[in-house]
Structure 1
Amino acid sequence: MTGRENNFGPIAGIALIVGSALLWGVAHLAAERRRTGLALMAAYVLVLAVAITAVTGFGARLLSLAVQPGWLTVLTLTLGAIAFAWSLVIIWSFVLVRPPRGNTAGRALTTVVAAALCALILAPAAYAARLAYLSREVVSTLFAGNASPILAQDPWNGAQRITFLLIGADAAPNRPGVRTDSMTVASVDTATGATTLFGLPRNLEQVRLPEGPARQRFPYGFTGDGPNTPGLLNEIFQYAEDHPEMVPGARKGHRGPILLKRTISDILGIPVDYYAMVDMKGFAEIIDAMGGVKVTIKEPIVYGKYREGLLAAGTRRLSGEEALWYGRSRTDSDDYVRMGRQKCLLNAVAKQADPITVLNSFEELASATKRAISTDLPQTLLPPVIELAAEVKDARIRSVSFVPPLINTAAPDWHLIRNTVTEALARRAGHQPGAQARQNRGPASPIALDATCA
């Protein structure tokens, strides 16, 4: 039977169209299309059940799928197919229950309602497809060429800990190249997510470079590129980029990360698996895209070459530029205070980047992220890293900073640094450090395992 034969009025037609949008098949049952109506209802319940099961039962897995370009394509196509099918159901329902031809006003009204419902279904699907496309683009851009096969059962290949070098890079206009002014190694337990952060000050001197061409050039420790450079840890990245012979066979853009990872691995006595570098200017753009970041400033912070700016004490929301100065300023303070603020800033951004904030500014965040971040993390490791991140979020994070009085940055005690790292990781694993390690560390070298931000 057709809609005309059923002779539905405008109110009944609109009610049935809306009902069919909420539960497929309602209009078909009213129009005595029982088989079709029941089939549509069954299909609707099946789609809904699959969606609910996926979200509630595989939430963490779904998040890991969001960083896999292939699955993002499947998600885009699936969302498009569901939205298209939903719209067809609405249009089909409209055809069955629209008022007779003579009722022009009623037909026009039901047509508008049906069109609005289709738009209501298609618009979110189009937006979700747009987000999936942008996610795919970010993943493909940031992790392009970082292919690395992983074992299906154990992505960490038996490793009990995985380490990431987190770099904050600052390319100031008054100096060439990039200086890695913030360097933190995160050592993460692959089973529990328990994490220990090791903070290295930028002004470590006499750094011993790894074996090979680098150590041959600087056999007694890194001294920089001529008398005008002090030879600090934060110069090694750019030095390697400017001198290809330091890392033979490595491409431009890869030499700095490779040499810095090897150097810091030797300093700490643990392997450094991957790095992620954030350009501080790009980091400011990410914060602006989030709508700012809320931090608690314990004491007023003066910033600017001519002390032209001031961040007042108290809890406040910082813009990207203000957050940049919060993490960069050393006026009336020092490198070590700045290191602490940088960790607090990163912690605040991580906590405040909630799903709603990310979705509201996704396009701006995606664009800023592509400009601000570089890494050598393989694309294939993204899913297990996402799952591990969920464990890290629920675990306690501890921190060790190799700053005075623990370490004299002008003449670092490399054995003390290594022993401190060994002891810190042993404590996280529930083991007591050996007598030799305690003796080497000495009584005047306390380990600051807890770093807190107000």
Structure 2
Amino acid sequence: MSGPGTLTDPQERAARVRFRRAVSLMAMTLVLPGSAQLACGNRRVGRAALRTWFALIAIAIGCLLVAALHREFAFWLVSDLAALQVVRIALMALAVGWAALFVDAWRLGQPLSLQMGHRRAAVGINGILCFSVAAVLLFGAHLVGVQRDFIQTMFGSGDASGAHDGRYNVLLMGGDSGVDRWGLRPDSLTVASIDAETGKTVLVSLPRNMQNFPFRRGSVMHEQFPQGFDCEHCMLNGVYTWALDNKELFGKAKNPGVDATIMAVEGITGLKINYWAMVNLKGFRNLVDAVGGVTLNVRSRIPIGGLGSDVYDYIEPGKQKLTGFQTQWYARAREGSDDYSRMARQKCIMGAMLDQLDPTVVLKNFQKIAQASSALLTTNIPASEVDRFIGLALKAKDQKVATLSIVPPMFDTYEPDAKLIRSKVAETVDAAEGDAPKAEPASDDGSSDAKPAKTKKPKQPEAVTGGSVGSLGDGYAANESQDLDAAC
């Protein structure tokens, strides 16, 4: 005979069946939300939940397929404010609705008919499933909100600017210290000229100490300085503060310092600027730390310190991963070096960041990157253009980056030859696009199939302080190259 509580007891078997039924209803809700209600609850609710679930799956699969075939759609989805808001609200609604279905599935399992042990287990299982699913969805909604706030805070709301001669020209300005100097006297000025179709990028840098340079004809600054910026001790990085001291000349302009600097850059290079970005080099360290550091080839010792204080440490030579603090000094150090070496190093950092920032790293450290970037960058690139520049950046990642710096020995920074500069800029852009003229060797009968004459390989310049080979006399390779990675 079998006593009460044994496996053959009908009441015990019935209790286990009821418990398995309760757990099954919750498992059904996890796999197919609404299926528990359709099986033994409110069928109208179940049908509505299942239809919603299948519709969301179809939309998700459709978006993935479109994104796989057209990356521009994916870039639009992660940068459009309205689309991000829709996704955020949908995730929050899904979290609440799914949690409600779990609670109803627990109710349908008739918890009061279960044994006390089974009742507690059912409550625990339902709680874990309910809160786990809701937490994942709400965290996803939070990340979407972070992305939306990042786009809204970082980028402007102005009109988009069309490409000039098939290229977008973005002026990057870098401030070199703390809050007291942020936005004033940019110490680094580089134009990123980007092909609107291929993403092929040319970096054109201008030294902060350039003098007597022209402004774009017809601009406010050209009217004030028709012979060039020839005031006493006036240099390129002083245009910003000069404009701030003379705001009345710029009407209702929101950023007269930026506007004046653009007038100078356009007058010097002949490139028409589409957009600008002000980069806080001190905040740059947080971005580097957020992505886990950046690997650079340090060609000689880089001092940490100086610039009015004592040198107290060094970044030693060799290929190594630098922290944000080290990368900041790699970019700004001038002790025992010169401005032109520093410009070359900054280009090497730009190239390394472009090469090493992949989507996996960005997703893994998304919140840190968003927070660091908000403190790092101010720009007038409109939010509507973010998807375009994300696409161009990914295209540029797989290509060689060409560079040109307006520095000695090729250029005189005190009395710059504007025609020579513009000609060299155009030549560099054409070479990067593959449009530069190429001389074809000719045979005696006039055909062009003769072997080219051997040329003597130029002597490799010795490394000086910085990431690029070269010297002040020979020129730093990263300041003029069709392949920035090779120069660094």
TM-score bin (small chain): 0.7 to 0.9
Look up the match of 2:29.
20
Look up the match of 1:180.
186
- Contact residue 15 and residue 115 of structure 2 kept, 8 A: no
Look up the match of 1:335.
339
1:159/1:53 Cα in 2 relative to 1: closer, same or farther (>3 Å)? farther
1:298/1:25 Cα in 2 relative to 1: closer, same or farther (>3 Å)? same
2:277 equivalent to 1:276: yes
What is the percentage of aligned positions where both structures have the same residue? 30
Identify the match of residue 48 of structure 1 among 49, 54, 57: 57
2:387 equivalent to 1:383: yes
Identify the match of residue 215 of structure 1 among 222, 225, 228: 222
- After superposition, the C-alpha distances for 1:387-422 in whole angstroms (9 at most, x for unaligned) are 333333334322222222221222322211111122
Identify the match of residue 244 of structure 1 among 247, 250, 272: 247
User: How far apart, CA to CA, are the structure 2 residues paired with 1:175 and 1:189?
Assistant: 33
Identify the match of residue 410 of structure 1 among 395, 399, 414: 414
Q: Offset at 1:27?
A: 4.1
Q: Offset at 1:356?
A: 4.6
Look up the match of 2:400.
396
- Contact residue 165 and residue 276 of structure 1 kept, 8 A: yes
1:451 is aligned with what amino acid?
L
Look up the match of 1:371.
375
Look up the match of 2:92.
80
2:116 equivalent to 1:104: yes
- Contact residue 297 and residue 315 of structure 1 kept, 8 A: yes
Look up the match of 1:168.
174
Mapping of residues 123-272 of structure 1, within 5 Å: 123-144=135-156, 146-148=157-159, 156=162, 160-171=166-177, 178-210=184-216, 211-223=218-230, 226=232, 230-251=233-254, 254-272=255-273
- After superposition, the C-alpha distances for 1:219-249 in whole angstroms (9 at most, x for unaligned) are 432245x5xxx32222212221222145343
Equivalenced residues, count: 430
- Contact residue 195 and residue 201 of structure 2 kept, 8 A: yes
User: How far apart, CA to CA, are the structure 1 residues paired with 2:91 and 2:31?
Assistant: 17
Query: TM-score if structure 1 supplies the norm length?
Result: 0.83
Look up the match of 1:71.
83
Secondary structure of the 1:392 match is helix
Secondary structure of the 2:96 match is helix
1:8/1:295 Cα in 2 relative to 1: closer, same or farther (>3 Å)? farther
- Contact residue 214 and residue 247 of structure 1 kept, 8 A: no
2:481 is aligned with what amino acid?
A
1:297/1:401 Cα in 2 relative to 1: closer, same or farther (>3 Å)? same
Mapping of residues 112-123 of structure 1, within 5 Å: 112-123=124-135
2:88 is aligned with what amino acid?
T
2:105 equivalent to 1:93: yes
- After superposition, the C-alpha distances for 1:21-42 in whole angstroms (9 at most, x for unaligned) are 0233554576598897677555
Query: TM-score if structure 2 supplies the norm length?
Result: 0.78
Q: Offset at 1:277?
A: 1.1
Secondary structure of the 1:193 match is coil
- Contact residue 221 and residue 263 of structure 2 kept, 8 A: no
Q: Offset at 1:52?
A: 2.3
Q: Offset at 1:16?
A: 4.4
- Contact residue 64 and residue 386 of structure 1 kept, 8 A: no
